[in-house]
Amino acid sequence: MNKVTTIAKMIDHSILHPTLTDDDLRRECEVAKKYHVASVCVKPYAVKMAAQLLSGCDVIVGCVIGFPAGNSVIAVKAFETETACRDGAVEIDMVINIGKALQEDWNYIEEEIKTVVDISHRYEAITKVIFETDFITRDEHKIRLCEICNKVGADYVKTSTGFGFVKGEDGKFSYKGATAHDLELMRKYSAPAVKIKAAGGVRTLTDLLKFKELGISRCGATATISMLEEAKKLYGEDIETTL
């Protein structure tokens, strides 16, 4: 696998903005197919259609659960997970209950992550657990979340949704997304078998390569085309296909 292909297979092409239509889904799935990325990450209702659009190619389908705020009860997250897997998702990106983490109700957090992980694994799907680090800002909380993910067998820990906007005193919203500090922390406190996904604010090839050096295995991205076209120019290579 050449360097450009390696980068492409790190990308989960995000198709998650609330305004996206079925036509947008079709277009973005074509982008994913053209660039042979690892996966598309779609909203629950779009899983079945994405699976049909990508049938027979080397791009797999992932689905978000409890997205973007993580507030659904555990039973709803369980139902969403099972429905997504039945519809064709083989990767599940779940948002934790952020408020429960902030109040340090770790028993609740462990139960909800374990529930989603167990259902995903029953369908041979993998689970990525989204911390939403713009809201979960204390390192001790992130460390505890990593420890819980280690314990219950999560496959990935993930920084952000891409929609964790923080309202400032001036009434304006800001967003950081993935940071080097958080990725280093998550790599340090995650078990070797648990992989790391950077998401939110990763918009350039430079960002992706920097985070790759910190040990990430996947990156959520909407700037897929620009990053991979830049990679092709940088390395003088095209994307290899296994098909």
- Please identify every residue annotated as catalytic: 93, 158, 197
Query: Using an 8 Å Cβ cutoff, are 154 and 128 in contact?
Result: yes
How far apart CA 200 and CA 159 sit, in angstroms, is 8
What gap in Å lies between CA 140 and CA 44, rounded to an integer? 32
DSSP the chain: --HHHHHHTTEEEEE--TT--HHHHHHHHHHHHHHT-SEEEE-GGGHHHHHHHTTTSS-EEEEEESTTT--S-HHHHHHHHHHHHHHT-SEEEEEP-HHHHHTT-HHHHHHHHHHHHHHHHHTT-EEEEE--TTT---HHHHHHHHHHHHHHT-SEEE---S--PEE-TTS-EE---S-HHHHHHHHHHS-TTSEEEE-SS--SHHHHHHHHHTT-SEEEES-HHHHHHHHHHHHT-------
What is the residue whose two structure tokens read 């496959």? 155
